[in-house]
Amino acid sequence: MNAPNKPGTDGVREDRGAGLGRVTLLNIDCMKYMREQPTGAFDLAIVDPPYGINAANMSMGNNPNRADGWHREESTAVKARKGRLNQGSGKLKNRALNTMRCDWDFYPPTADYFTELFRVSKKQIIWGGNYFNLPPSRCVICWDKVQPWENFSQWEMAWTSFDKVAPLFRYSNTGGANAELKIHPTQKPRKLYEWLLNKFATPDMRILDTHLGSGSSAIAAHYFGCEFVGCEIDADYYAAAVARFDHETKQQGLAL
Ligand SMILES: C[S@@+](CC[C@H](N)C(=O)[O-])C[C@H]1O[C@@H](n2cnc3c(N)ncnc32)[C@H](O)[C@@H]1O
């Protein structure tokens, strides 16, 4: 990574600089970050908080490491950071989905989270909006996952604060041409964020993702050209997201 990985105040890790362009990645609790931001600091928040449903465990089948919601061995995020990013995505994906910690998904955001989110951002797109107490909206987003298995959710919903028609994005996340390197159990595809940015944002905007996870949103924002801040509380996921960002932006840069 070209950018300096300097520890911020209070031990917060922060990655910003030449390698990340206008993207800033923070290893921080988003509540702490948002409380320090002025009102209206962001034009748009695109967020994906824990739904409180143990989503990773629901979708990954039998996994002894995840049986009680806690990982018992080195997480795949750590393994990814140690150099697996360059291996075939299938191998990494299988390992990722079977060893990652997912205890965070038991705890949905509190009312304070939404108060702060609506204070610091002017517009919002909130994945999992069907799980949260949000006002009625004309513009909810349907992501059709083109799911081949009937017993898995066929689509996901995002609530938005936009007054637009409700759009549909159809994109498979299960493999083949759409296979992406998987470093996180609830990773959303980068293409989904690219579509969101093209539809709801402009490159002059300042965008916040309070729950960065795998960093798909950050990579999409980097290529879109907007200013972007992503917060991730988990040090291992954070390190894996930074490594993925570095890997995917460098790789594409070389391909151009
Ligand atoms: C649903 S996942 C986000 C997945 C992401 N959209 C992606 O495409 O990879 C939620 C993430 O939020 C992180 N998280 C949970 N509580 C947080 C908090 N208070 N501040 C920042 N990140 C948090 C978890 O560690 C997890 O990685």
Q: pLDDT for 62-120, tens place per residue?
A: 333 333 333 334 444 444 444 444 344 444 444 455 556 666 666 789 999 999 999 99
pLDDT digits (tens, 9 = 90+) for 39-68: 999 999 999 999 987 665 554 333 333 333
- The percent of residues in the chain predicted with pLDDT above 70, rounded, is 69
CA nearest ligand 1 atom 25, residue: 234
Measure 141 CA to ligand 1 centroid, in angstroms.
Answer: 20
Q: Say whether pLDDT at 143 is over 50.
A: yes
């705890």: which residue's tokens?
A: 107
Q: Which amino acid is at 138?
A: R
Q: What's the CA gap between 70 and 171, in Å, rounded?
A: 31
Residue 70's pLDDT is 31
Q: Say whether pLDDT at 238 is over 90.
A: yes
pLDDT digits (tens, 9 = 90+) for 203-226: 999 999 999 999 999 999 999 999
Beta bridge partners of 27: 13, 232
Following DSSP, what letter does each residue of 89-104 receive, concatenated? HHHHHHHHHHH---GG
Pairing of strands 23-27, 5-7: unpaired
Beta-carbon contacts of residue 28 (< 8 Å; ≥ 6 apart): 8, 12, 13, 231, 232, 233
Region of residue 82 (left: phi > 0; alpha: psi -120 to 50; beta: else): alpha
All domains in the chain, ordered by first residue: 5-255 (3.40.50.150)
pLDDT digits (tens, 9 = 90+) for 183-198: 999 999 999 999 999 9
Best residue among 212, 214, 228, 244 to mutate for probing ligand 1, ranked by most atoms within 8 Å of CB: 212
Q: Are 76 and 100 in contact (CB under 8 A)?
A: yes
- The percent of residues in the chain predicted with pLDDT above 90, rounded, is 59
SS3 (DSSP) at 47? strand
Q: Are 154 and 174 in contact (CB under 8 A)?
A: no
CA nearest ligand 1 atom 5, residue: 213
Supply the pTM of this predicted model. 0.81
Element (H, E) at 46: strand 42-47
Beta-carbon contacts of residue 219 (< 8 Å; ≥ 6 apart): 190, 193, 244, 245, 248, 249
Measure 256 CA to ligand 1 centroid, in angstroms.
Answer: 31
pLDDT digits (tens, 9 = 90+) for 116-141: 999 999 999 999 999 999 999 999 99
